[in-house]
Amino acid sequence: MESKTLDPKIQLAVERYKALEEKIAHFVMIGGLLEWDQKVTAPKKGRGIFAKAIGTFRTEEFKLSVSQEMGELLHILSADDVYEQLDEITQAQIRERLEEYNRSRKIPEEMYRDYVVLTAKANDAWEEARETNNFSVFQPFLEKIVDYNRKVAEIYGYEQHPYDALLHQYEPGLSVAVLDPLFAKLRETSVALLERIKNSGSKPSTEIFEQDYDVEQQNKFNTYFLPIIGFDMQAGRLDETVHPFAQTMNTGDVRITTRYLKDNVRSAVFGTIHEAGHGIYEQNIDPRLEGTALSTGASFGIHESQSRFLENMVGRSEQFWTFFYPKIQEHFPQQLGHVSQQDFYRAVNTVQPTMIRVEADELTYNLHIMLRYEIEKAVIGGELEVKDLPAVWNQKMRDYLGITPATDTEGVLQDVHWSFGGFGYFPSYSLGNLYAAQLLNTIVRELPDFYSQIEAGNFAGIQAWLKENVHRHGKLYTPEQLIRKVTGEDLKADYLVNYLEEKYSRIYNF
């Protein structure tokens, strides 16, 4: 990544471009802070007015990204004879920004501004609908959001399915044609494995979780393990929200949230580990990428791979609890003091179909994603309308998991994603699982003492490997390039299929 000597005119264009890029990055940073505040600390009564302010602010950011100056600079720097002279980082910046520019400039400014305001208000409507179990409160907002995304798909263009245009925003290069076969294999093997687990005569007991766990003690345990597993508390913070998320201001200010449930200690523990995976990724991006469009994850799927890797393949491993179980027992002596580590390990890995995606076990989680993926494809393709979502959701839950939500709150209203317009986002979660398993196969091969390090509470070597191979690159490489660079292969379903089979065969003794 050494800098190259450029013609003075080209050098001037590069400097102007980077100054503009940094200005946009500052807007993104402050906008992220506003959105974090709205979700975490802002009083509910002021959110409607605040939403308009966020809309105005985000519109100014949008205008910079599609400005005449941006267009002129991208035209100069993307020309073949100029582009080939640029260093790798600048080339990647131009690649990412040019694609965004070509897509974003197709969206009318007024349309974008109205959408930002709509989604800000929709979040409040979703929260109210969820609290009151009343889908009709959220329905009119969601109808407008769906209409916008259908229009965007047509504006962006696609070759086969309109959903492809939305997928591309989260996972560049991905299409329904590529995703369907990956998901088909995962779905088929997961359903078969779930059936074997249901028929197993050796099921873990989860009675230990059917009692109260003091929320303050949960928070203390979370803040204890976060720095040990690699989350820098001097460059981040932990807060509480309805729906856990991670928000990055910059590499030195990465904020994560969790949700505490008094009768479900697993929710906050694994939710916090999950968001820490996102946070650690952002904290370890190369400082040279700060202030650019590259200072974030390679894609939503790659980002999710880091959270799912840490949550499941590390956090739910037997070795993880060899180290941390005595400490959680100290926080909850009455609830866990008499419980063996092995029983606790099997309990946190219990496979049991559940209504709530974020509470789902490692195996059935992917079936939750299949459900959402299929619904989104149908909605964006015009085969399904918003008013029909509760009924379709419930039917798919019966078909895939054998259970039916009693309320829309635990059904179609459980996720925040549609309120911010995240159509195309959900596949990222299962893609994250697929990427994570492929990365696990590589890291275990390159670090033979991987699990021994976890058992000793030593996460420095593992995080160093992840930083070197994944984190530091940010968005320098496309997800396809990155997974091939790290593992030597294109993405496959086999590694996750094999991982799940081996893990649950041991836990359920078959």
Read off the pLDDT of residues 216-238 as tens digits, 9 standing for 90 and up.
Answer: 999 999 999 999 999 999 999 99
Contact 277, 230 (CB under 8 A): no
Instruction: Name the residue with higher pLDDT: 3 or 440.
Output: 440
CA distance 367 to 377: 15
pLDDT band at 1 (very low <50, low <70, confident <90, very high): very low
The pLDDT tens digits of the residues spanning 133-187 come to: 999 999 999 999 999 999 999 999 999 999 999 999 999 989 999 999 999 999 9
pLDDT at 6: 87
pLDDT band at 111 (very low <50, low <70, confident <90, very high): very high
Query: What percent of the chain is modeled with pLDDT above 70?
Result: 99
The pLDDT tens digits of the residues spanning 434-487 come to: 999 999 999 999 999 999 999 999 999 999 999 999 999 999 999 999 999 999
pLDDT band at 3 (very low <50, low <70, confident <90, very high): low
With helix as H, strand as E and coil as C, how does 307-358 read?
HHHHHHHHCCCHHHHHHHHHHHHHHCHHHHCCCCHHHHHHHHCCCCCCCCHH
pLDDT band at 307 (very low <50, low <70, confident <90, very high): very high
**pTM, entire model:** 0.90
Please identify every residue annotated as catalytic.
275
Nearest to 347 by CA among 507, 509, 510: 507
Q: Which helix (H) or strand (E) holds 249?
A: strand 246-250
How does the average pLDDT of the chain come out, rounded? 95
**What is the average pLDDT across 2-20?**
88
pLDDT at 206: 92
Dihedral sign computed on CA atoms, order 452, 497, 195, 390: positive
Q: Is the pLDDT of residue 41 over 60?
A: yes
pLDDT at 114: 93
Structure tokens at 145: 């959001």
CA 312, 316, 318 angle in degrees (round to 5)? 140
